Structure 1
Amino acid sequence: MLGFLSARQAGLDDPLRLRRAESTRRVLTLQLNQDRDVDRIHGNGINTLDIEVIEGRYMLSGGADGVIVIYDLENSSRKPQYTCKAVCTVGRSSRYVHKFSVETVQWYPHDTGMFVSSSFDKTMKVWDTETLKPAEVFHFEGNVYCHHMSPIARKHSLIAVGSKDPKVQLCDLKSGARIHVLQGHRGEVLSVRWSPRYEHILATASSDSRVRFWDVRKASGSLFTLDQHNGDKSKAASESANTAHNGRVNGLCFTGDGLYLLTTGTDDRMRLWNSSTGENTLVNYGKVANESRKGLKFAVSRGCSPEFAFVPCGSSVAVYALHTGELVTMLRGHYNNVDCCEFHPDYQDLYSGGKDCNILAWVPTPRKPDIEDEERGGKGEAQAAQNPAFEDAWSSSSDED
């Protein structure tokens, strides 16, 4: 570490290399934080979490009890032991509360004054954060499994919505109307994700085993459908042609640069795809247990080299090296199944929520400098340095620069 700080100060090393390597070290040393608690508000399982990107301070949660909570993640007490307080709640006593399970919550990407929630009560609500009242309510014919707003869009304000209806609905925040439907899936839509690279590109996943890419500016159907066999007819039975998984596809997550898409399915497989070509990269993650009948909320790290995937796996969170498929570690601490993960890219913290009604905070182990650390030229703690993924980070960082 000292060697890298000196090299950066002297202008001999790119600052991004040190930042990526330290971010990687922090992810590889994640552990349950015994000193940080999160207020326990939900009376039932926690389905979804979201941290706003403006300040990186406030987190939303939505539960199977229909309740929505906003937490302040900042340690205002400055004490080693503290609790992330719930600053406001849309509880069962509110006339505006969702009647059934909240499946997805998301902050408005450009302002913390608004957030959106969707629920099994067949509604999606756009909330004013100050008043905790819905500014707009969209009604649907079936259960709403998911929704997503583009993190980068400037030319549109569309919310993509997945529900029991095979049609993907596009709702416009400006007009308050459902302006378009995307037709192509043959089963309920379990996950939707806008590309963080191109504001008009949308990926959708369905119980029909397919993942489709769309350009919402075009009315001529999907751009392409992901094929796990990469077009090899000899490997694909007729009924599994052009399918991303051999079961329900219930999870989507783009990498931060938008170049890759990670998918999960009830066939206990996870696959990584080139988002430009739709090619299956054939990374082998092994068996990734997935018993969820609904959407699975998982996360991918940002700013690391290589990147990592955090995937709910029973009562644990599995951490995988994204491009090699290596299972790096299992984070254990929940007493029941984990349903969602949210990664904080500013601090490399991880938050997870589960059916035990708890939200757990996973934080990096503090660095402990020693003589051995200096002799390694700044490669961090022994625990991280011995991990192959960490060694890859240093070599790939220098290669990229």
Structure 2
Amino acid sequence: MLGLMAARQAGLDDPARLRRAERTRRVLSLELNKDRDVERIHGSGINALDIEPVEGRYMLSGGSDGVIVLYDLENLSRKPSYTCKALFTVGRSHPDVHKFSVETVQWYPHDTGMFTSSSFDKTLKIWDTNTLQPADIFHFEGTVYSHHMSPVARKHCLIAGHRQEVLAVSWSPRHEYILATGSADGTVKLWDVRRASGCLSTLDQHNGEKSKASSEAANTAHNGRVNGLCYTNDGLHLLTIGTDERMRLWNSSTGENTLVNYGKVCNESRKGLKFAISCGCNPEFAFVPYGSTIAVYAVFTGELITMLRGHYSTVNCCVFQPHFQELYSGSKDCNILAWIPAPREPVPDDISEKSLPQQHLNPAYEDAWSSSDDEG
């Protein structure tokens, strides 16, 4: 890292490379932070979390008791140890509280004045953050398992919601009209909402090689319920997870299964599983609820990097905070845990370039030194 900083200072390296290297280091050093607590409000399991993308400061949580909580993640006390306080709660006594389990919460992507929630009570609600009152309520005939608002849409304000057996849904962060959905029948479909027919393609785990697959498995993404999906930040790939204990990475343009092997991925959830992908790292990482732990995978190689342990019961959801490379997770144990990059080891005052490991030095910077420079 010192080599990267020195090369950047000398103008020999791209500033983006230094940022990626530091973000990657921070993600790889994530640990349960003993100095930061999230105020415990929920009296039952936590199903969904979302951090607003504008400031990265406010977080929503939705519980299986229908309660929604809004937290402030900023350390206003300026003390090393602090608790992220709940600012507002839509509790059981609120006249518009969801009657049953809240499955998804999401901030309006462009400001913090509005957020949405959907529930097993067959409703999707749009909330005014300032008044904590619903601005609108949509009623459905079937259970709403998941919903999502596009992070990049400028020409529409559509909310994608599904009923009954569609368990996961996500708008593309690259194309504002493209939508991905995952279903209990094992299929993952890509949609263009401008088209009358809607469906663009159905992802096939065998990439069209039906001769090698049974007719039952053909044109399915998983051999089980697809209950989680997430685009990479650039929108070029889609990661899906199913109850067949498999995770698959797809080229979102071609629909091709990239055949990355993540091994067995424990997934016993009968409803949506909320996982997250890092942003701005090299490589990128996926944070996947795995029983009472969170598995961290390298997205493009399938390598299991580490397991984050701290919850006492099944983890249902996690959300990545890209501004500071932090992770928050919610569980059936009613707790929200904060996973924070470990502090960097202090560098001795007498450190010199000669004492740095050579692999950390930028080659261009290393070559810039001459023998006369060393002698001087």
State the TM-score, normalizing by the size of structure 1. 0.88
* Contact kept? 2:46, 2:61, Cα under 8 Å: yes
Distance 2:126 2:279 in 1: 28
Query: In the alignment, is residue 362 of structure 1 matched against residue 339 of structure 2?
Result: yes
Moved over 3 A (4+): 369-374, 377-380
Q: CA deviation at 1:221?
A: 3.4
Q: CA deviation at 1:137?
A: 0.2
SS at match of 1:217: coil
- Map of 1:386 onto structure 2: none
Distance 2:206 2:345 in 1: 47
Residue range with higher mean Cα deviation, 227-236 or 40-49: 227-236
Percent identity (aligned) = 74
Query: In the alignment, is residue 292 of structure 1 matched against residue 273 of structure 2?
Result: no
1:7 to 1:190, Cα distance in 2 relative to 1, 3 A = same
CA offsets 1:62-118 (integer angstroms, 9 cap, x no match):
000100000000000000000000000000010010000000000000010000000
Distance 1:377 1:157 in 2: 51
CA offsets 1:137-192 (integer angstroms, 9 cap, x no match):
0000111100000000000000000221xxxxxxxxxxxxxxxxxxxxxxx10011
Q: 1:277 aligns with which of 254, 274, 282?
A: 254
What stretches of structure 2 of length at least 5 have no aligned partner? 364-376
Distance 2:288 2:360 in 1: 27
CA offsets 1:43-79 (integer angstroms, 9 cap, x no match):
0000000000111100000000100000000000000
Distance 2:338 2:344 in 1: 18
Distance 2:274 2:352 in 1: 39
Q: CA deviation at 1:4?
A: 1.7
* Contact kept? 2:61, 2:68, Cα under 8 Å: yes
- Map of 1:112 onto structure 2: 112
* Contact kept? 1:114, 1:129, Cα under 8 Å: yes
Distance 2:101 2:198 in 1: 31
Q: CA deviation at 1:11?
A: 1.2
- Map of 2:139 onto structure 1: 139
Q: How does 1:48-87 map to 2 (within 5 A)?
A: 48-87=48-87
Q: CA deviation at 1:9?
A: 1.9
CA offsets 1:308-347 (integer angstroms, 9 cap, x no match):
0000000000000001100000000000000001000111
Q: State the superposition RMSD in angstroms.
A: 1.5
Q: CA deviation at 1:6?
A: 2.1
Q: How does 1:179-258 map to 2 (within 5 A)?
A: 188-258=165-235
Q: 1:267 aligns with which of 244, 250, 258?
A: 244
- Map of 1:309 onto structure 2: 286
Q: CA deviation at 1:8?
A: 1.1
1:313 to 1:131, Cα distance in 2 relative to 1, 3 A = same
Distance 1:378 1:8 in 2: 16
- Map of 1:174 onto structure 2: none
Q: 1:341 aligns with which of 295, 318, 325?
A: 318
SS at match of 1:239: coil
Distance 1:220 1:356 in 2: 43
Residue range with higher mean Cα deviation, 369-378 or 337-346: 369-378
SS at match of 2:213: coil
* Contact kept? 2:2, 2:360, Cα under 8 Å: no
- Map of 1:383 onto structure 2: none
CA offsets 1:116-150 (integer angstroms, 9 cap, x no match):
00000000000000010000000001111000000
What stretches of structure 1 of length at least 5 have no aligned partner? 165-187, 381-393, 396-401
CA offsets 1:220-258 (integer angstroms, 9 cap, x no match):
231000000000012211111100000000001000000
SS at match of 1:22: helix
Distance 2:216 2:299 in 1: 29
Distance 1:345 1:133 in 2: 29
Q: CA deviation at 1:369?
A: 3.8
Distance 1:117 1:125 in 2: 5
For 1:230, give the aligned amino acid: N
SS at match of 2:174: coil
1:133 to 1:326, Cα distance in 2 relative to 1, 3 A = same
SS at match of 2:211: coil
Distance 1:290 1:379 in 2: 38
- Map of 1:154 onto structure 2: 154
